[in-house]
Amino acid sequence: MRDELGRDRGRLSRRTFLRYSAVGTGVAVGATASIAPASAAPSRPDWSALGTRQGSVVTPADGSRFAEATAIFNTRYDSTVPVAVVRPRTTAEVARAMAVASRRRLSVSARSGGHSYIGASAADGALILDLRSLSTPIAYDDSTQTVTVTPATTLFALQTFLHRSGRALPVGTCPTVGIGGLTLGGGIGVDTREHGLTCDRLVAATLVLPGGRIVSVSENRHRDLLWALRGGGGGAVGVVTSMTLRTHGAADRDLVLLGFPGDATAEVIRGWASWLPTLDISNWAGVNVESDRGGGVRCGALIAAPAGGGSEVARQLAAAVGVAPDFTAAATLDPDGVLLRLAGGTPNPPRHGFAAGSDVVPTIDAETAEAIVAVVRSRSAAGAAGSVIIDPLDGAVRSVGSSASAFPWRRHLAVLQWFVDIDPSGSYGSADSWIADAHDAVRRASAGAYINYVEPGGTPGRYLGANLSRLVAMRDAYDPTRLVRSSTEGATASPGA
Ligand SMILES: Cc1cc2nc3c(=O)[nH]c(=O)nc-3n(C[C@H](O)[C@H](O)[C@H](O)COP(=O)(O)OP(=O)(O)OC[C@H]3O[C@@H](n4cnc5c(N)ncnc54)[C@H](O)[C@@H]3O)c2cc1C
């Protein structure tokens, strides 16, 4: 297939191709208030117990080095003030830091790729364990077709490594997201329908429990912990220092981008939702709707299909929605190329500010489709940016039971991601309130939300559904004082919010 995807730039905004982004502050999974706040820490603490290696501990006293050490992907959280950022090189150093934090009654927050939507991996008052210095190289085991990685390994590094062995993993679409946070919260992307969530591929992990005990988790050992690591969210039960995941064979994909007339958007969403369950799971298709800032909306569909099959899936989708696309572009790409293309062509997308949230829906009927369009249109009428990215949750996701892992959304059609890029003149407050309006608009259809798209004020039950009580019971058993912050406990939003 000829590579025509560059043509989308003028016709559909760049965001239509950048599939995901982020937001705000959160609520703990079964949180208790037993951890001392940052202000209770000594003003000039002695951090030597955490390591004396140059650069291994960075504190607010380190000025610009501290600002660099706290910076994560979402610039909304650039002003957060953790107690310190520690950079362990080994699992033993992680365990030592956890033990020190426990003695000092400091809460710990792990950082893998630093893409938390709510600044959880740079949270105010926490001791941040930045795992990017863990030094174990990526290792592929051909006999088990598994790959073992440190959690801070980026999706792009992992994908390019696996590609050399003709293997791949179902991952998300941002090259700099860490495999750690992605897997611990679920992990959705264009291979999800065929190969499942990233967390479904997790077969073993090394986990440091609060207090510093190191355990090996697998399907035969500490199975309960493996259950929690598969989609319960980062920090739910300790800090992971190594993950082993089952790979699948790498294959080239056709990516096809279709543009539809904006005034037919409700028909497109409704037709897509009825057609998707009939689509063979080797194919993937999602819909994006975005504000044109002038009262209208733009509508696009993205298809990923086995090489050679993209045009036929595009034809089927157009027939199912009953609307002729007014724009089509396509390319055939290898797995690295797919990841790069979905990120806008770069392995290092720049940090930026954004607000986002989500709803998980079991179905989308005509009323919900109309409600989705109306809420994006209202944002457009206000002259503001905003979009919804509608991604499938069916296919192989359903091959796992709803309570077989902590990820609860196994009988649902799609995730709706509400999402606003904040430019320097933009307002987080207005974006947050639009996202609240969007939740209201689809409340009748919503079952909950996706924990990797965590947002300010979201209650834990919204992300974990019927699996919440089991996860809280596990935290009570393994982390009764809530030493480790969960991924739903975020940072304080920027003053501009
Ligand atoms: C630009 C962008 C694109 C995205 N695209 C997708 C996508 O395509 N599909 C998708 O499913 N999601 C996507 N996401 C969401 C992403 O999966 C989550 O934000 C994820 O949690 C990020 O993981 P991280 O390791 O990069 O982030 P971090 O901020 O490092 O971690 C996220 C959370 O997990 C905790 N954590 C991290 N590492 C560990 C560990 N080793 N042990 C215990 N807890 C840990 C952190 O404390 C934090 O609470 C995207 C996010 C962004 C910003």
Report all structural domains of the chain as residue ranges with CATH numbers, in order of start: 5-21+251-457 (3.40.462.20), 139-250 (3.30.465.10)
Tell me: the pLDDT tens digits for 291-327?
Answer: 999 999 999 999 999 999 999 999 999 999 999 999 9
The residues near 305 (Cβ < 8 Å, ≥ 6 apart) are: 253, 254, 256, 282, 283, 284, 312, 313
For residue 457, name the pLDDT band (cuts at 50, 70, 90): confident
pLDDT at 55 over 90: no
Residues with CB under 6 A from ligand 1: 19-22, 72-73, 109-117, 120-121, 131, 151, 172-174, 177-178, 180-182, 184-189, 234-235, 239-240, 452, 487
Q: Which protein residue's CA is at the shortest distance from atom 35 of ligand 1?
A: 234
* Residue 381: per-residue pLDDT: 98
Q: Are 340 and 175 spatial neighbours (Cβ–Cβ below 8 Å)?
A: yes
Locate the ligand 1 atom nearest the alpha carbon of residue 109 and give its number: 47
Burial label, 401 (beta-carbon count in 10 A; 0-12, 13-18, 19+):
exposed
Average pLDDT value for residue range 389-415:
98
Substitution candidate for ligand 1 out of 20, 397, 453, 475 with most atoms within 8 A of CB: 20
Distance in Å, CA 79 to ligand 1 centroid: 19
Q: What percent of the chain has pLDDT over 90?
A: 83
* Residue 425: per-residue pLDDT: 77
Q: Which protein residue's CA is at the shortest distance from atom 38 of ligand 1?
A: 112
* Residue 337: per-residue pLDDT: 92
pLDDT at 89 over 90: yes
* Residue 7: per-residue pLDDT: 55
Q: Which protein residue's CA is at the shortest distance from atom 21 of ligand 1?
A: 181
What span, in angstroms and rounded, lies between the C-alpha atoms of 330 and 312?
Answer: 12
For residue 493, name the pLDDT band (cuts at 50, 70, 90): low
Backbone angles phi, psi at 245, to 5 degrees: -125, 145
Q: Which protein residue's CA is at the shortest distance from atom 31 of ligand 1?
A: 181
Locate the ligand 1 atom nearest the alpha carbon of residue 450 and give its number: 11
Substitution candidate for ligand 1 out of 177, 191, 237, 391 with most atoms within 8 A of CB: 177
pLDDT at 21 over 50: no
* Residue 41: per-residue pLDDT: 42
pLDDT at 6 over 70: no
pLDDT at 496 over 80: no
Distance in Å, CA 126 to ligand 1 centroid: 17
Distance in Å, CA 181 to ligand 1 centroid: 4
Distance in Å, CA 67 to ligand 1 centroid: 20
Tell me: the pLDDT tens digits for 461-492?
Answer: 999 999 999 999 999 999 999 999 999 987 76
Locate the ligand 1 atom nearest the alpha carbon of residue 176 and give its number: 26
For residue 31, name the pLDDT band (cuts at 50, 70, 90): very low
Tell me: the pLDDT tens digits for 381-394?
Answer: 999 999 999 999 99
pLDDT at 497 over 80: no
The whole-chain average pLDDT of the chain stands at 90
Distance in Å, CA 182 to ligand 1 centroid: 5
Substitution candidate for ligand 1 out of 15, 80, 109, 112 with most atoms within 8 A of CB: 112
